[in-house]
Amino acid sequence: MNRRSFLATSAAASATPLVFAGQPAEKKLRVGLIGCGWYGKCDLWRLLQVAPNAEIVSLCDVDSKMLADAADMAGQKQASKKKPRTYADYRKMLAEKDLDVCMVETPDHWHALPAIAAMEAGMDVWVQKPISLDVMEGKAMLDAARKNQRVVQVVTQRRSTPHLVEARDKVIKEGKLGKIGLVEICCYYHMRNNTNPPDGQPPENLDYDMWTGPAPLRPYNRLVHPRSWRAFMEYGNGIVGDMCIHMYDMVRWMLDLGWPTRVSSAGGIFVQKNAKSNITDTQTATFEHPEFNVVWTHRTYGSTPDKDYPWAAIFYGEKGTLKASVNKFEFFPGGAARPTISGEALFEEDKYPEDKTEKDLERHVASAIRRHWLDFLKAREDRSKPVSDIEQGHISSASCILANLSQKIGRTITWDPQKHECVGDAEVTKLLKRDYRKPWTHPAG
């Protein structure tokens, strides 16, 4: 497929949001961001690219330097050139009740409380994945969204990635795989932090107690902030919660899968034992669905089995194989050595030249984030469910959390999504809700 035909099919696959983007936008879209780190700013700048009516009204962060820098950047980038108001406490920001959209881009352990508070304040919410650190947090977020009739978009943006939409439509929906018997998902990136710096005192610009919030209060370590907090299970869900959720959610979307019936996982720290990090360096997880299993593998050392697909999903069908990643997809019919259908990530740097120079931007993902925003904005107008509705985000997040619980306790979990409990396993059911550090209160009671 040449570049011209790829761009044409990608545009067609995303026709609805692109048409919406061209509609006149008269009323200001008042936006606030909680969590002004790397990806929070990345998502916020993509919104400004596709929504000329967006006004960044408020920013919140517990790091005063990060907050001030983000406010300066927002003032430069947005059309009004106004610097947003800044807050160190999200509760004070939300108490203004003057936002249309609240973005929650904090570390994972801080997703639930701000998101629920924003919904209760009448705001629609854009929230990072995984939506929660434990299963019952996610259920509380879903319940709050439905009770308050809020539109919530989870940032599982594979559902809005042009070439992956094409792969779903041209390969899976057209039945080219035939009956699917197995889907493998994987990540072989060396992304686990393997240093062991000493504990110390937090910098003056960081309110470490507020940063910790409901999580256990560990001694401060520079790995925690900024960006390396995923090294610790106290704040995130490891690589399963960071990387598996993207691929598992993509597979569920492409194949229209609901909850898994059973989840099992095994792994541990087998190689990189000298690091301070307490997340696994090796782990497999099996998500059992009625017709086939989805099997995850990650390993943070050694080489990748397929250099073209180090973070990917591979769909095995009776008629062929589909390989899909954030960079491209390829369909191989039968035992063919070469793909007959393929596509690549869509770059739009001719239209958005700032993508070329933005610090730390994942340039191949920018087009997906833009379409994810447009889908969310359209859902807000229609008061409908966006492509990554909170319920879908909850299923994918909770399934990955169940995998980590299975790895921790050493046995398979049979899941009852209606009752939100582990069938015949009261011990694991108790682990679905973690203890909160006082004075914070878990939203599930």
Is a pLDDT exceeding 60 seen at residue 8? no
For residue 419, what are the contacts with CB-CB under 8 A and spacing of at least 6?
Answer: none
Tell me the C-alpha distance between 109 and 56, whole Å.
24
Is 368 within 8 Å of 105 (Cβ atoms)? no
Lowest mean pLDDT: which of 8-12, 152-156, 276-280, 349-353?
Answer: 8-12
Residue 361 resides in a domain? no
> DSSP letters of 90-124?
HHHHHHT---SEEEE-S-GGGSHHHHHHHHHTT-E
Mean pLDDT for the chain overall: 94
Residue 115 resides in a domain? yes
Helices (H), 275-365: none
Residue 20 resides in a domain? yes
Residue 4 resides in a domain? no
Residue 39 resides in a domain? yes
Tell me the C-alpha distance between 34 and 105, whole Å.
6
Residue 30 resides in a domain? yes
For residue 197, what are the contacts with CB-CB under 8 A and spacing of at least 6?
Answer: 221, 222, 223, 276
Reported as a single tens digit per residue, the pLDDT across 223-242 is 999 889 999 999 999 999 99
H/E run at residue 332: strand 328-333
Tell me the C-alpha distance between 66 and 150, whole Å.
29
Percent of the chain with pLDDT over 90: 93
Q: Of 132 and 25, which is predicted with more confidence?
A: 132
Is a pLDDT exceeding 50 seen at residue 20? no
Tell me the C-alpha distance between 396 and 246, whole Å.
8
Tell me the C-alpha distance between 352 and 333, whole Å.
36
Is a pLDDT exceeding 70 seen at residue 71? yes
Binned at pLDDT 50, 70 and 90, residue 102 comes out as: very high
Reported as a single tens digit per residue, the pLDDT across 328-345 is 999 999 989 999 999 999
Is a pLDDT exceeding 90 seen at residue 41? yes
Lowest mean pLDDT: which of 25-29, 176-180, 353-357?
Answer: 25-29
Residue 444 resides in a domain? no
Reported as a single tens digit per residue, the pLDDT across 362-418 is 999 999 999 999 999 999 999 999 999 999 999 999 999 999 999 999 999 999 999
Whole-prediction pTM: 0.94
Number of domains into which the chain is organized: 1
> What's the pLDDT score for residue 288?
98
Domain that holds residue 80: 14-158
The distance in angstroms from the start CA to the end CA of the chain is 54
Which of 375, 315, 443, 277 has the alpha carbon at shortest distance from 50? 375
Which of 148, 85, 86, 87 has the alpha carbon at shortest distance from 115? 148
> What's the pLDDT score for residue 21?
42
CATH code of the domain covering residue 81: 3.40.50.720
Is 196 within 8 Å of 275 (Cβ atoms)? yes
Residue 261 resides in a domain? no
Percent of the chain with pLDDT over 70: 94
> What's the pLDDT score for residue 26?
60
> What's the pLDDT score for residue 209?
98
Query: Number of C-alpha atoms within 13 angstroms, CB side, residue 49?
Result: 25
